[in-house]
Amino acid sequence: MCGIIGVVGDADPLTTLLAGLTRLEYRGYDSAGVALVRPGEMWRARTAEGTESVSALKLACADAPTDARSGIGHTRWATHGAPEAVNAHPHVDCSGTVAIIHNGIIENHRELADDLRARGHVFTSVTDSEVLAHLVEEGRRAGLELLEALRATIQAVRGAFAVAVMDATEPDVIVAARRVSPLVVGVAPGVTYLASDVPAILDRARVFYAVNDDEIVRLAPEGFRAVDLDGAPVRLRQLSIDWDLETAEKGGHDDFMIKEILEEPGAVRATLLDRRRLDGTIAFDEMRVDDDELRAVRRVVLVAAGTSHHAAQVAKYAIERWARLSVEVDIASEYRYRDPIVEIGTLVIGVSQSGETIDTIQAVREAHGRGARVVAVTNVVDSSLAREADAVVYTRAGLEISVASTKAFVAQVAALELLALRLAQLRGTLEPDEVDALVRGLGALPALVERTLARRAQVEEVATALVGARDFFFLGRHVGFPTALEGALKFKEITYRHAEGYPAGELKHGPLALIEPGVVVVAIATDPTLREKLLSNLAEVKARGATVVAIVSDDDEVTEAVADYLVRVPVTEPMFTPVVDVIPLQLLAYATARLLGRNVDRPRNLAKTVTVE
């Protein structure tokens, strides 16, 4: 998983590449590199300085040629080969004439490398990617044009890739191709760009195009042309982009995570906006599955990873309760390896903020292949997941940059609950006035989220008091359970403290053995119908010496008796509580991570978008 960028025809390609790499760091940041080309000469610099790799690269480029007009750049998240400079991209062929950058995994790299070595090629890294440089080299030696050499290369490889190639003998050309991993092309007068995503080149290019699977593009200063795997010309689809660079910046905050948490009211509001017709019907404009097909749904399977998986788990409760449909929630990376059952009437919903998570895309592909209708719930317009699905519901949370997903979660829960209500409408499992009341309840959420955020100080006090603790359990019941899982995920990923989420009733079946003085139990206790049972669970941990932090509603007068710390949130309809209750959990993780001096936006070992299996 990595970020790639390239430019041809630029008066200052290095500045463009370094600026783009900074914006691509969310895709990986354990090493970085650039290559610049001028006639007959390839110049390359690579660094492996962990989170400082791009900064280090800027220094390493002090003696870069100033007359180059084209270049490629890469920021890496290591898969094959340690995060060392020798494994950083760009990789070159035996002669140093061809340079490549690659995002993805070449699954048959071992057999290809053995073959290439047998033909005399010398490898200098232990990456899967380097085979691409040598395969292109083979094509060039056989007299193929650069585009044809890349086309032959991708015909030989299995796996996922967005790859870009330069050749010092053709300094004004870059060729690139994709399969699974994302790739966009951008155009401005006299300059042509490529990147893993639009924000990397948003301030440079004017018009953007999506490259589809198995398409190969040839970029030159005056524009680009594209062909498919058979060499036939193809037209790339123009993307409609309505972001400006401002939205990709921190907006005056210390880091993206807090900016994005504070954007949550807007994320929920935008996601719910304009989803109802005058007759009360819930409508998703992007939906391309018609009402009869949705009415015929007999079973729902949600596939997702990480935070999106927790939002999907909330959706299970809502769809089962309101639409009376049987729902399964699958970890996306497990789905296709267990011979899943897809019957007539199975609706598969793929949930992904980025729309680029390979596990979720592959799960959805598997479901499609087995005949399921597929709906994508994603935050990124025209993302791979959106294109893979029969229908899309867009969360409108805006660009999310921090590795820890926050505003995407609340937007996903809102979108999925609205979808659950649409299914209920179609199936007639709720009365119209019940749907009305629930839609009004959803509509009240942005204001409740705002009120919760305004109480940030109470969470900061808890974080300060408990910053020395090392073990945290997050407990909840009903939709409080996925909320607890999300709280634990957020906490562990940015504080590096041990944190686990559990259904509160499950603790006594084993994990209770871990409870002792010093352990912190964070309980989601906002559902009045389950409060008594949860209080019993809290009494159990309290009796064993745990410190209890309880997230409670404003009207709760009883939980105080068993809690060491109370965090109050506004009263919310139980099914909507995850949207409100997750906020103090996100803030607790954030405040603790800051106190511990962590890099909250770029936690160690992680990347924003996981494009490898």
Q: What residue ranges bind ligand M6R (CB under 6 A)? A: 305-308, 352-354, 357, 360, 403-405, 489, 493, 609-610
Calpha distance 336→356 (Å, rounded): 17
Pick 485 or 507: Cβ nearer ligand M6R: 485
Of 532, 570, 485, 535, nearest to 314 by C-alpha is 485
Of 484, 342, 459, nearest to 328 by C-alpha is 342
Pick 130 or 601: Cβ nearer ligand M6R: 601
CB of 353 to ligand M6R, least distance (A): 3
Pick 354 or 483: Cβ nearer ligand M6R: 354
CB of 238 to ligand M6R, least distance (A): 24
**Do 604 and 293 form a contact (C-beta atoms < 8 A)?**
no
Q: In 3-state terms, what secondary structure has residue 575?
A: helix
Pick 307 or 495: Cβ nearer ligand M6R: 307
Pairing of strands 159-167, 174-179: antiparallel
Active site annotation includes 508? no
CB of 466 to ligand M6R, least distance (A): 21
**Do 461 and 335 form a contact (C-beta atoms < 8 A)?**
no
Residue 237 gets the label, from left (phi > 0), alpha (psi -120 to 50) or beta, of beta
Token duo for residue 597: 């001096």
Choice among 259, 316, 490, 608 that is catalytic: 608
Return the residue matching tokens 């899967």: 128
Active site annotation includes 94? no
Helices 445-453 and 577-595, interaxial angle, to 10°? 30
Pick 87 or 405: Cβ nearer ligand M6R: 405
- Nearest residue to the partner ligand M6R, using Cβ: 306
CB of 403 to ligand M6R, least distance (A): 5
CB of 64 to ligand M6R, least distance (A): 34
Choice among 2, 61, 407, 492 that is catalytic: 2
CB of 508 to ligand M6R, least distance (A): 28
State the DSSP H helix or E strand holding residue 105, giving kind and residue range, or none if neither. strand 98-106
Pick 138 or 493: Cβ nearer ligand M6R: 493
CB atoms within 10 A of CB 436: 14
**Do 60 and 45 form a contact (C-beta atoms < 8 A)?**
yes
When computed from its CA atoms, the radius of gyration of the chain, rounded to whole angstroms, is 25
Sign of CA dihedral 513, 516, 518, 522: positive
Residues carrying an active site annotation: 2, 608
